Amino acid sequence: MADNIRICGLNKNFKGFTLENVTFDVPKGSVVGLIGENGAGKSTTIKSILGLVNPSGGRVEVFGKEVSALMAEEKGRIGAVLGETCLPENLNLKDIDGVMKHIFPQWDTGKFFSFADSFSLPRDKKVREFSRGMRQKVSLSVALSHGAEVLVLDEPTAGLDPVARDEILDLLYDFMQDEEHSILISSHIVSDLEKLCDYIAFLHNGRTMFFEEKDRLEEKYGIFRGTEEEVRALGRAVVKYTRGEYGCSALVLREEAPRELPLERAGIEDIMLYFVRGEKLC
């Protein structure tokens, strides 16, 4: 399967933070969820894909081309929703349409207002008067109205109520009906990612901890609860473990663990928490 986005050994040095050797792909026809705690490097990775930061090293390719070499038409095939609204808040939707038709070569006014109407966004009201949820919907309406084949979404559902989040997820499902399309989405709302994603890329302290198929993660990891001695007895099957008031729990590699060992399902959030907060067996 060809990749819409390829990130290979991405490095970026900031004062006090380094993104180091980040590597993952976003294949055509798939949704990749980018997870990690605050400051893990998710936004910097997304900004590198969109050409907003200059990487210190490594390669970021979109549609098989280095990001810095993309032409305006090719950039127009990427729909972006950044953490903040990033749209002129002094303008209303009609004004935004007037601006966007001169920004994107493939801008579709009909589509934009159709999304806006489906979200019940008033056309004459200035964006600054919108709620956070409405602003996110405007951003998404823009991202979906210029012939994008790849969506790069940084926290698109942050701060939204479950109904609004569900509406946005429905739109993303519709977008993925085309097998050439892809989505890279970062979010702290792991339940959204579990519904939507085919792959998960996990960043921690600026490094890729893993990049795996979501279903494979469930096959690969399980959670074991028991005493510290029982956890220690599992040896190299234990990836990370935590000590609690009533014993220990461990993220365990199913393949390495004894077949008869009772293991609970490990969700994406569990896996992330064990990787970040868990201890390694000495």
Partner 1 sequence: MLGTIIKDFKNIFGQFIYYFVLMVVFMAVSVITKNIYYYMGAIVFFCVAVPLSALAYDEKDNWDKFALASGVTRNQLAVSRYLLGLIVFLPMWAVSFILVAAGGMWNIENLSVLLSYGGIALLTIDAILPVVLKIGVEKGRLVYILTILIVIALGGVLAFLVEAIGGDSVLYSSVAVLALGIAGFFLSIKIACNIYRKKDF
Which residues are at the interface with partner 1 (CB under 8 A)?
A: 14, 47, 50-54, 70-76, 78, 80, 82, 84-91, 95, 98-104, 146, 152
The distance of closest approach from Cβ of residue 127 to partner 1 in the complex, given in angstroms and rounded to an integer, is 9
> Which lies closer to partner 1 via its Cβ, residue 82 or residue 134?
82
Nearer to partner 1, 89 or 174 (CB): 89
Phi-psi region of 199 (alpha: psi -120 to 50; beta: other; left: phi over 0): beta
Between CA 152 and CA 5 the distance in angstroms is 10
The least CB distance from residue 261 to partner 1, in Å, is 47
Q: Which token pair is 98? A: 């007037």
Burial of residue 110 (number of CB atoms within 10 Å: 0-12, 13-18, 19+): exposed
Residue (19 or 31) nearer to partner 1, CB: 19
Q: Which is nearer to partner 1, 74 or 269 (CB)?
A: 74
CB of 226 to partner 1, least distance (A): 47
Q: Least distance in Å: CB of 268 to partner 1?
A: 27
How far apart are alpha carbons 282 and 275 in whole angstroms? 16
CB of 9 to partner 1, least distance (A): 19
Pick 72 or 282: Cβ nearer partner 1? 72
CB of 124 to partner 1, least distance (A): 14
Rounded least distance, CB 46 to partner 1, Å: 9
Burial class (CB in 10 A: 0-12, 13-18, 19+), 32: buried
Rg (CA), the chain: 21
Q: 181 or 220: whose CB is closer to partner 1?
A: 181
Closer by beta carbon to partner 1, 109 or else 191: 109
Torsion of CA 63, 68, 72, 75, to 10 degrees: 40
